[in-house]
Amino acid sequence: MAVIPDIALDILAEPKSVKMVGTVNNEGVPNVVIISTISVLTPEKIAFADICLGKTKANLKQNGKLTITVIGSEKKAYQIKCKFIHFDKKTPIFGLWHEPIYQKTMMRLKAVAIANVIEVTEAGLDL
């Protein structure tokens, strides 16, 4: 496992940072979605809400490959490659997230996706 560096942790914590999750199915078809609920559990483990993940959820169940891209307000960006572990419905994090996510989105939390960090790289931006 890899560790998310402090500067990337700071960007992930920025409320206005853009956070995207990319997955791919077994045929190589990519899927990218914006997910505002990405949260760092530890510097080696990340989580995000499953509210309506459709293709993303199917891809994670197929092969567990995902990449998180985060872009901060200072035009710094990081790519975080991860290995999906499981969808959590029973541990305290699900209970902690359930009501706040409903209040924010008016949608029910189905599960919390948990993933291990494999590699972190700075993404070059020509902005």
The total number of structural domains in the chain stands at 1
Q: How far apart are CA 77 and CA 60, in angstroms?
A: 23
- Position 1 in a domain: no
Alpha helices (H) along the chain:
6-13, 54-63, 92-105
Mean pLDDT calculated for residue range 48-69: 95
- Position 110 in a domain: yes
What pLDDT, in 10s, does the model give residues 7-16?
999 999 998 9
pLDDT grade for 75, boundaries at 50, 70 and 90: confident
- Position 100 in a domain: yes
- Position 89 in a domain: yes
- Position 40 in a domain: yes
**What CATH number should be reported for the domain holding residue 19?**
2.30.110.10
Task: Check pLDDT > 70 for residue 31.
Answer: yes
Structural domain containing residue 119 = 6-123
Which pLDDT belongs to residue 98? Answer: 86
- Read off the pTM: 0.90
- Alpha-carbon dihedral sign for residues 56, 58, 59, 60: positive
